[in-house]
Structure 1
Amino acid sequence: MQLVERSDLLNFCEMQVMVEESQLELTNVAIGKTATQSSDWSASFPASNAVDGNTNTNWGSGSCTSTQGEEGAWWKVDLGANYLVYVVIVTNRQDCCETRIVNSEIRVGLSEDISQNTQCGDIITESQTSQANIYFQCISPIFGRYVSMQLVEGSELLNFCEMRVIAEEL
């Protein structure tokens, strides 16, 4: 609603917007898919832990993943097919070390080279890391097969517990 050719106040009490129910069926398309990372902290915390469907935020649960401390550490999942990706949800550790994902970004696209893909959402800030689930809303759905998370600044472990890729199956 906008006033046109007037400078009065715009004042109203309620607005209702009616839309038809969407036929979109969005699901987590990352569960069980092939995941890789720049390095493994240990054999007990491989990349595949982040797509096992277990959203436990405790390191001791055996469901988290971790790289070694390195510049530009990254994690990537190959969805095995092309999807329209709407949202990526990262489940962060909550038992300790929550800030290990600060300055990370999510990228989605068709290239195995994650730097060639489109960023989804903003870079993770320290204030977000206290949340168990961090949501990355893509500005518009991104067509892609690969979804990645990468530290874009600093030399640290990349360490988190689950990544869900909410997408439309084509």
Structure 2
Amino acid sequence: MESTNVYVETDFAASRAGASLKEVSRGKPAYPAGSMSLAALANDDDVASYWENGPLRPWWMVDLGANYLIHFVDILPRQGYYSFRFQEMEVRVGPEWKDDGDFSTWELIGLYPGVYQGGNVRVHFNSSQGVCGRFLSVQRINDYQDAVALSDVKVYVYGGNPQ
């Protein structure tokens, strides 16, 4: 399996200075497993809106419309009181539509192993070699009984051309 990692920083753009990255998820169709709000609110480029889903192993998925070699995923969990709900989250990439919540056959980009502490800090996942796929999922993998809320999800590729 490809090496993956996760890190948290406040200035994603500065850390990628000079890289020809393109964001490919904004406005693309997004899907939830049942929902308390619209899935598209997580990739609408408005950090004041959010998507929320739960309680058991909630997931969010975006259809990028074509296969891309994905290198970076940038997530802003909902801020304020609810930020602790972002915990033990996996980001995976796959080639085919799934609606059963089992993304275990998809390639893992990264795992956020702890409980998010808030502070308007984005969570960044990266894959140095890239992971090719059309669909990207974000899912809590523990059995914590509460919803998860995503304010902003961005998917970055080098160059921006489909594979």
TM-score with structure 1 length normalisation?
Answer: 0.74
Aligned to 2:40: 48
Q: Distance in 2 between matches of 1:88 and 1:129?
A: 18
- AA aligned to 2:156 is I
Determine which of 116, 119, 123 is the counterpart of 2:105. Answer: 116
Determine which of 146, 157, 161 is the counterpart of 1:156. Answer: 146
The reply to whether residue 30 of structure 1 matches residue 30 of structure 2 is no
Q: Distance in 2 between matches of 1:117 and 1:129?
A: 28
Equivalent pair of 1:88/1:137 in contact (CA under 8 Å): yes
Do the aligned partners of residues 48 and 86 (structure 1) sit closer, same or farther apart at CA in structure 2, a change above 3 Å counting?
A: same
Relative contact order higher in (CA < 8 Å, ≥ 6 apart): 2
- AA aligned to 1:102 is Q
- AA aligned to 2:52 is S
Equivalent pair of 1:111/1:117 in contact (CA under 8 Å): no
Q: Distance in 2 between matches of 1:140 and 1:130?
A: 30
Task: Calculate percent identity across the aligned residue pairs.
Answer: 26
Q: Distance in 2 between matches of 1:112 and 1:159?
A: 22
Aligned to 1:80: 65
Aligned to 2:3: none
Do the aligned partners of residues 128 and 118 (structure 1) sit closer, same or farther apart at CA in structure 2, a change above 3 Å counting?
A: farther
Do the aligned partners of residues 130 and 119 (structure 1) sit closer, same or farther apart at CA in structure 2, a change above 3 Å counting?
A: farther
SS, match of residue 142 in structure 1: strand
How far residue 130 of structure 1 moved from its aligned partner, in angstroms, is 4.3
Equivalent pair of 1:79/1:145 in contact (CA under 8 Å): yes
- AA aligned to 2:148 is L
Aligned to 1:140: 129
Aligned to 2:8: none
How far residue 124 of structure 1 moved from its aligned partner, in angstroms, is 3.8
Aligned to 1:93: 78
Q: Which has the larger radius of gyration?
A: 1
The answer for unaligned runs of 5 or more in structure 1 is 1-21
- AA aligned to 1:52 is D
The answer for unaligned runs of 5 or more in structure 2 is 1-17
